Amino acid sequence: MKILVGVKRVLDYNVKARVKADKSGIELANVKMSMNPFDEIAVEEALRLVEAGHAEEVIAVSIGPTQSQETIRTALAMGADRGILIETDEQLQPLAIAKLFKHLIEKEQPGLVVLGKQAIDDDSNQTGQMLSAMTGMAQATFASKVEFEGDSLKVTREVDTGLESIQVQMPAIVTTDLRLNEPRYAKLPNIMKAKKKPLEIIPVADTGVDVSSKLSVVEVNEPPKREAGIIVSNVAELVDKLRNDAKVI
């Protein structure tokens, strides 16, 4: 069985995001980029399934600019077998990403697709669900535990009320939550080996998929700075502040 894993190149989580001067988006020039943390968890889970004998191959997939090859190489250094980059310089919406993954699923015929539940740059949390609707594959989102039971998966999900266990038939799409696992670090010998692993580059135009955006960004602004709080000495002063200053009562 093949496992297809999505890996997205995003602004490193340790870097403070800065809005461009023209407010058209986030400044990405000359800043550190890295693999989306949820996608690191997805890669780790796929590798563990291979090590447990449930799959034979892990394919790391990224959709983005040429620099996304670095993100794929990171996944290869962790242990993925090969990579595929659908190359484009456009900022694609989740719907377009799902369409491109559907194209690859039809080509590769994986038994399992593992994606991060969301990317930390747009926080959309949509691609896995859209991909399931397009392909008809079962979906198990927000996974904190994945277990094989014959030809099906038992997935423990993190929901607002606690934990929920569901069983889905293969092939399936799983999106990973933070507590699913702790991603491994790539060792130096594996980083060197990753340079020789196959990486296929496909221009987005060659896929025949319509990736035109249905949304447009009007303006991007930083959140307003919060005013400093105050400490009141008694309830009467609190009520006075809420009534006269905050105007909330």
Return the domain boundaries, the chain.
Answer: 2-221
**Which residue bears the tokens 């980059």?**
85
Element (H, E) at 175: strand 172-176
pLDDT at 142 over 80: yes
CATH superfamily of 2-221: HUPs (3.40.50.620)
pLDDT (tens digit per residue) in 68-116 = 999 999 999 999 999 999 999 988 999 999 999 999 999 999 999 999 9
**Among 57-66, 78-87, 235-244, which is the least confidently predicted range?**
235-244
What is the phi/psi pair of residue 49, to 5°? -65, -35
Per-residue model confidence as pLDDT tens digits over 14-54: 988 888 889 888 888 889 999 999 999 999 999 999 999 99
- Which pLDDT does position 41 carry in this prediction? 97
The phi-psi region of residue 154 (left if phi > 0; otherwise alpha if psi is between -120 and 50; otherwise beta) is beta
The pLDDT of residue 62 is 97
Q: Which helix (H) or strand (E) is 102 found in, with range?
A: helix 94-108
Q: What is the pLDDT of residues 156-215, one digit of tens each?
A: 999 888 899 999 999 999 999 999 999 999 889 999 999 999 999 999 999 999 998 888
Give me the pLDDT at residue 131, please. 97
Spatial neighbors of 62 by CB under 8 A, at least 6 apart, are: 6, 7, 8, 9, 68, 69, 71, 72, 83, 84, 85, 86
- Catalogue the E-assigned strands of 50-98: 57-64, 82-87
- As to burial, measured by CB atoms within 10 angstroms (0-12 exposed, 13-18 middle, 19+ buried), residue 65 is middle
